[in-house]
């Protein structure tokens, strides 16, 4: 193995950190500045001259741009400054390191193949967008030689914050609890994001509360007999894509609801015309979800937790030392969406609240990890639904807290999410006055009206 490529995820974060530090500080204005950074990375990690295009492609990806393989930088800074959105592909394959790797355990988590659809597409085969790839991103996080990497979308966000033409809102996934230190409360994290220039930080769990009510109403409507069942689509794009691409025969049982991420962007932009929304996520899949054809436009950029940690480090922001800006925005139920079983727990609470005398009770089954999700769907196809009538799937082990771009081990992440949920002064989505306030702005005065409001139905549904 060639040492310069080894542990490249760490080196890649160093490249990103340097880009952030220099661009934020006004020291990255010319092509020559990018060339200088590439040479510094080359010398620091022992790359040779022939490997400069590899380094430069990683710089391009860290700027939110496509890799090109070119020897020289040209208009990258101008392209980044003028960028209005991130385009596919989110993940790219970079030529060079594979020949030095020798790791035969490299395989697609979803399909169980040694060559992922991404490799096949970029080698010019017939594999296309409908090849079964669920965009889970595990092939990227497990490639530590830099052959696979996703775009990092923060430098275009810096441009939004600098221009200040419209408010830029940060929306944080529930899994963010504890990710930046166990003494960093959500209020301290909000203070850190305000210091970066965001108008506010809003919990995605608030929009999970709204979707919980919607899914509970849908469950009550669709599950009327013992043979009926309901597949939740909330939260996880990996679970959704797995069903849509590989199990079309059960797709009709899938909730039409969008994820809390997409709901947050659509609702915030409706309430605050012209606003921009940046989502902070535990995974790579959310970056792909944001640019899906029927969802794009809701979220402008996605930054993951490991990237945000690097941003704070690069800019000498220490969330732990900041005075907290506390807001209780979401219920216990919305906050525990971040771990396996959280969606089921929350929806069941609301179903029981809607109709305590309901004859057909919600019986949940929770599966996590791509392999377990696939096994459950195969069993559903072969043997029927079994005892469960509400099936929740999450692509990562442990749920979102097990995402490939988190800063904590999944088990500890789940513990901290549970603690964060229990700290809420709001028990259920029904008790969330923030939800009531939002619904009133759309003319909805009772929970039962949620699925009957045309505008909210459009905002909360795929398409």
Q: Which tens digits make up the pLDDT trace of 346-390?
A: 999 999 999 888 889 999 999 999 999 999 999 999 988 899 999
The two tokens of residue 364 are: 């949940």
Q: What local confidence, expressed as pLDDT, does residue 384 receive?
A: 87
C-alpha to C-alpha distance for 445 and 436, rounded to whole angstroms: 8
Same domain membership, residue 419 and residue 297: yes
Q: What local confidence, expressed as pLDDT, does residue 131 receive?
A: 63
For the chain, the domain total comes to 2
**Whether 149 contacts 140, CB under 8 Å:** yes
Burial status of residue 166 (CB atoms within 10 A of its CB: 0-12, 13-18, 19 or more): middle
Total number of residues shown for the chain: 463
- Angle of the 204-222 helix axis to the 433-441 helix axis, nearest 10: 80
Nearest to 132 by CA among 153, 165, 109: 109
Residue 271 lies in a domain: yes
Same domain membership, residue 358 and residue 211: yes
**What CATH number is attached to the domain comprising 398?**
3.40.950.10
C-alpha to C-alpha distance for 52 and 340, rounded to whole angstroms: 43
Q: What local confidence, expressed as pLDDT, does residue 79 receive?
A: 95
* Opening angle at CA 190, ends 189 and 194, nearest 5: 120
Same domain membership, residue 172 and residue 146: no
Same domain membership, residue 116 and residue 193: no
The DSSP secondary-structure symbol of 182 reads: T
End position of a domain, from candidates 151, 175, 199:
151
Put the strands of the sheet holding 390-394 in their side by side order.
230-231, 390-394, 364-368
The helix/strand/coil state of 254 is strand
Same domain membership, residue 202 and residue 143: no
Same domain membership, residue 23 and residue 134: yes
Q: How far is CA 92 from the centre of its chain?
A: 18
Same domain membership, residue 181 and residue 132: no
Q: What is the span of the domain harbouring residue 48?
A: 3-151
Same domain membership, residue 207 and residue 142: no
pLDDT tens per residue, range 269-319: 999 999 999 999 999 999 999 999 999 999 999 999 999 999 999 999 999
């Amino acid at each position: 193995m060639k040492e310069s490529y080894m542990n490249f995820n760490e080196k890649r974060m160093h490249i990103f950190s340097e880009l952030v530090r220099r661009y934020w500080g006004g020291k990255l204005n010319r092509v020559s500045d990018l060339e200088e950074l590439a040479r510094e990375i080359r010398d620091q990690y022992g790359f040779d001259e022939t490997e400069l295009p590899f380094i430069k492609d990683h710089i391009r990806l860290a700027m939110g741009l496509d890799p090109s393989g070119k020897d020289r930088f040209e208009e990258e800074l101008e392209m980044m400054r003028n960028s209005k959105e991130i385009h596919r592909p989110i993940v790219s394959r970079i030529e060079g390191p594979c020949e030095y790797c020798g790791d035969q355990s490299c395989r697609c988590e979803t399909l169980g193949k040694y060559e992922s659809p991404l490799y096949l597409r970029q080698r010019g085969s017939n594999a296309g967008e409908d090849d079964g790839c669920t965009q889970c991103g595990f092939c990227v996080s497990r490639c530590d030689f830099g052959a696979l990497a996703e775009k990092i979308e923060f430098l275009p966000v810096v441009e939004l914050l600098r221009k200040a033409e419209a408010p830029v809102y940060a929306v944080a996934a529930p899994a963010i609890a504890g990710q930046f230190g166990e003494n960093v409360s959500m209020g301290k994290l909000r203070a850190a994001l305000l210091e970066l220039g965001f108008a506010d930080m809003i919990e995605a769990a608030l929009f999970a509360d709204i979707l919980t009510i919607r899914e509970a109403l849908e469950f009550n409507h669709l599950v009327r007999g013992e043979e009926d069942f309901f597949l939740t689509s909330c939260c996880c794009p990996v679970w959704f894509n797995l069903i849509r691409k590989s199990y079309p025969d059960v797709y009709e049982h899938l909730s039409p609801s969008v994820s809390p991420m997409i709901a947050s962007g659509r609702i915030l932009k409706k309430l605050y015309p012209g606003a921009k929304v940046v989502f902070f996520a535990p995974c790579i899949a959310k970056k792909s979800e944001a640019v899906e054809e029927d969802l794009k436009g809701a979220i402008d950029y996605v930054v993951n937790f490991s990237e945000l940690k690097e941003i704070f480090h690069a800019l000498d922001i220490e969330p732990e030392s900041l005075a907290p800006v506390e807001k209780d925005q979401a219920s216990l139920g919305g906050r525990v969406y971040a771990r396996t079983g959280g969606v089921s727990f929350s929806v069941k609470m609301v179903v029981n609240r809607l109709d305590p005398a309901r004859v057909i009770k919600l019986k949940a089954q929770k599966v996590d990890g791509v392999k377990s999700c696939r096994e459950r769907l195969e069993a559903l196809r072969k043997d029927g639904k079994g005892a469960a009538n509400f099936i929740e799937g999450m692509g990562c082990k442990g749920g979102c807290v097990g995402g490939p771009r988190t800063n904590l081990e999944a088990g500890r992440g789940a513990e901290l999410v549970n603690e964060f949920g229990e700290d809420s002064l709001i028990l259920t989505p029904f008790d969330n006055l923030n939800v009531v306030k939002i619904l009133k702005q759309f003319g909805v005065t009772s929970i039962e009206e949620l699925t009957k409001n045309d505008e909210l139905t459009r905002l909360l549904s795929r398409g």
